[in-house]
């Protein structure tokens, strides 16, 4: 196994060694002396910077969406929006909006699939593909997340294609007024019932509305929801011997209210259509700064998010819950208005960076007071680029398509005794990528072959990745038939 390393600016640099990509094998330049896993790069290694996409390769899927009424009739002319998931932040971004045809169908081509290594490391989600939202005149808007574990009757994923059915019911209206603790109207508050899949952010234009100068709002595209007679009771769904499964019948649905000067509040509504008024609580402020952990320079454009922590003494957590989010300015500063009386953790997300230390904590936030947190320190993530080497010819193996072989990174912190595993993504040619390599973690790499042409060699090499560093790893394998080293699909 050979390891070389070099620093990069962000994740935008890719380094290519000599050789012709048209050959089945590409020769690597062996160093005169193998560096240790923590040694700096030796002289004589050729390197060059090329555009970012080669290291930001993302697979895409084709997604077909069908909109129907509850009785199975197609809805023509419905507006359907596909929201791709941003890999680093977990938030959604609009890909495009289409209208359904005469069969109630539309198709989205080239929907980017979140990069699995980054999303798994940063957010714990690696099976979410995208959000889809649909609305039509007189119909309740429907929003659903396409994911591996989705309800099979309404969605499925197979290979590079996905399918989803959205059933749009008759629309109902919820209206009301939002005020502060003194009863004064709050203008510009967002009232919503649907959030993005991986965040607390509203889905603009779907099941949401803003308050006017009188604090009044009206949401006109909601489903009907009436409090059932057996609310709060357990509805048994199956019995198997002594095992009974069921669910508690809900006695409310959640309405979210957010304003930058008040934060986010959960409110419990028990009927739709109807009137629902919300009073926002007293707030305090949390201020702080986001910096590069290595250079100590302020970071502009960091998304900072504060989340209330459960408190047993506070009773029902939903009644006291609050959160808020902000973007840091040019000096790395942020300010968050949050409900007083809670404890908060402060999180951040920024492309190419990982929050380096434990999240800042606010133990008690007082009304009309300002609490300043420790600096949020973000460290530039590293990149691991692995290549399979034919142990006999000492040449890198070039694949013409996605191979029947996997490269897995095993990582652990100094305080952990168990590894966490991240399959590296096959990018193109001869490269397997892991973008969100965490500094201060210790990694090892293994090769898992699903075919009969490549046999992994057992080897364990511990390595670390410094902030913003790309580490190149050559992994020797045995190739039974040199001509069959490429992955061949029938």
Residue 469, pLDDT score: 83
Q: How far apart are CA 330 and CA 97, in angstroms?
A: 33
Residue 458, pLDDT score: 78
* Bridging pattern class, strands 142-147 and 155-158: unpaired
Q: Evaluate if residue 332 carries a pLDDT over 80.
A: yes
Radius of gyration of the chain (CA): 26
Q: Assign domain 172-277 to a CATH class.
A: mainly beta
Residue 16, pLDDT score: 28
Report, as an integer, the average pLDDT of 268-293.
Answer: 95
Point out the least confidently predicted range of 48-62, 161-175, 343-357, 384-398: 48-62
Asked if residues 397 and 19 have their Cβ atoms less than 8 Å apart, the reply is no
pLDDT tens profile 385-406: 888 888 888 888 888 888 888 8
Residue 436, pLDDT score: 83
Q: In 318-468, at which residue ranges do the beta strands (DSSP E only) sit?
A: 322-327, 333-339, 344-349, 353-355, 361-362, 370-372, 376-380, 382-390, 395-397, 405-412, 420-423, 425-426, 432-437, 442-449, 454-456
pLDDT tens profile 112-165: 888 877 877 776 666 888 999 999 999 999 999 998 877 888 999 988 899 999
Q: How far apart are CA 305 and CA 346, in angstroms?
A: 6
For the chain, where do the domains classified as CATH 2.60.40.1120 start and end?
2-56+380-484, 60-167, 172-277
Q: How far apart are CA 330 and CA 315, in angstroms?
A: 40
Burial 131-154 (b: 16+ CB within 10 A, else e): bbbbbbeebbbbbbbbbeebeeee
Kindly list the distances between the CA atom of residue 403 and the CA atoms of 15, 112, 118, 130, 488, in Å, as whole numbers in the listed order.
22, 20, 21, 26, 8
Q: Evaluate if residue 488 carries a pLDDT over 80.
A: no
429 vs 482, more confident: 429
Kindly list the distances between the CA atom of residue 196 and the CA atoms of 14, 93, 94, 133, 223, in Å, as whole numbers in the listed order.
33, 10, 11, 10, 18
Which of the four pLDDT bands, split at 50, 70 and 90, describes residue 193? very high
Which of the four pLDDT bands, split at 50, 70 and 90, describes residue 440? confident
Give Cβ neighbours of residue 395 (< 8 Å, ≥ 6 apart): 25, 26, 27, 28, 389
Q: Quote the CATH superfamily of domain 2-56+380-484.
A: Carboxypeptidase-like, regulatory domain (2.60.40.1120)
Mapped onto helix, strand or coil, the DSSP state of residue 349 is: strand
For residue 329, cis peptide bond before it (omega within 30 degrees of 0): no
Q: How far apart are CA 145 and CA 189, in angstroms?
A: 25
Q: Looking at the domain 60-167, which fold is it?
A: Immunoglobulin-like (2.60.40)
Q: What proportion of the chain, given as a percentage, has pLDDT over 90?
A: 43
pTM: 0.78
Q: Evaluate if residue 9 carries a pLDDT over 50.
A: no
Q: Backbone dihedral region of 138: left (phi > 0), alpha (psi from -120 to 50 degrees) or beta?
A: left
Q: How far apart are CA 276 and CA 218, in angstroms?
A: 10
Residue 25, pLDDT score: 28
pLDDT tens profile 284-329: 999 999 999 999 999 999 999 999 988 766 567 777 889 999 999 9
* Bridging pattern class, strands 278-279 and 172-179: parallel
For the chain, where do the domains classified as CATH 2.60.40.10 start and end?
283-379
Q: Evaluate if residue 38 carries a pLDDT over 70.
A: no
Report, as an integer, the average pLDDT of 207-228.
Answer: 96
Residue with tokens 């196994």: 1
- Of 112, 95, 12, 13, the C-alpha closest to 61 is 112
Domain 283-379, CATH: 2.60.40.10
Average pLDDT over all residues of the chain: 82
């Amino acid at each position: 196994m050979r390891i070389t390393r070099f620093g990069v600016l962000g994740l935008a640099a890719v380094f290519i060694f000599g050789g012709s990509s048209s050959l089945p094998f590409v020769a690597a330049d062996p160093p005169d002396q193998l560096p240790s896993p923590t040694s700096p790069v030796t002289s004589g290694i050729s390197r060059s910077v090329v555009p970012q996409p080669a290291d930001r390769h993302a697979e895409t899927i084709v997604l077909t969406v069908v909109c129907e009424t509850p009785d199975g009739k197609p809805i023509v002319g419905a507006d359907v929006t596909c929201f791709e998931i941003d890999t680093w932040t977990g938030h959604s971004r609009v890909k495009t909006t289409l209208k359904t045809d005469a069969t109630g169908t539309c198709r989205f081509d080239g929907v980017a699939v979140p990069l699995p290594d980054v999303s798994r490391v940063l957010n714990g989600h690696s099976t979410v593909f995208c959000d889809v939202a649909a609305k039509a005149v007189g119909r309740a808007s429907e929003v659903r997340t396409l994911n591996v574990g989705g309800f099979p009757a309404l969605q499925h994923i197979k290979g590079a294609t996905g399918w989803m059915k959205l059933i749009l019911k008759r629309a109902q209206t919820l209206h009301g007024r939002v005020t502060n603790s003194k009863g004064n109207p709050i203008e510009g508050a967002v009232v919503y019932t649907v959030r993005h899949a991986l965040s607390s952010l509203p889905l603009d234009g779907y099941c949401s509305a803003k308050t006017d100068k009188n604090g009044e709002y009206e949401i006109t595209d909601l489903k009907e929801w009436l409090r059932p007679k057996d609310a709060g009771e357990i509805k048994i769904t199956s019995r198997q011997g002594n095992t009974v499964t069921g669910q508690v019948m809900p006695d409310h649905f959640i309405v979210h209210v957010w304003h930058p000067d008040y934060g986010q509040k959960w409110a419990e509504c028990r009927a739709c259509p109807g009137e629902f008024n919300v009073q926002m609580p007293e707030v305090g402020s949390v201020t702080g700064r986001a910096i590069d952990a290595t250079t100590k320079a302020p970071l502009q454009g960091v998304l900072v998010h504060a989340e209330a922590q459960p408190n047993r003494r506070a009773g029902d957590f939903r009644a006291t819950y609050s959160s808020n989010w902000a973007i840091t300015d040019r000096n790395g500063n942020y300010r968050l208005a949050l409900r007083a009386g809670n404890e908060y953790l402060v999180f951040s997300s920024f492309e190419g960076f990982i929050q380096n230390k434990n999240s800042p904590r606010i133990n008690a936030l007082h009304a009309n007071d300002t609490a300043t947190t420790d600096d949020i320190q973000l460290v530039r993530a590293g990149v691991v680029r692995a290549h399979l080497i034919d142990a006999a010819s000492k040449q890198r193996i070039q694949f013409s398509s996605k191979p029947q072989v996997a490269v897995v990174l095993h990582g652990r912190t100094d305080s952990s005794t168990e590894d966490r595993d991240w399959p590296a993504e096959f990018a193109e040619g001869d490269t397997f990528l892991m973008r969100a390599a965490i500094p201060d973690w210790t990694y090892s790499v293994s090769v898992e072959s699903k075919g009969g042409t490549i046999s992994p060699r057992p080897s364990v090499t511990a390595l670390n990745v410094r902030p913003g560093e790309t580490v190149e790893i050559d992994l020797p394998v045995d190739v039974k038939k040199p001509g069959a080293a490429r992955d061949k699909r029938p």
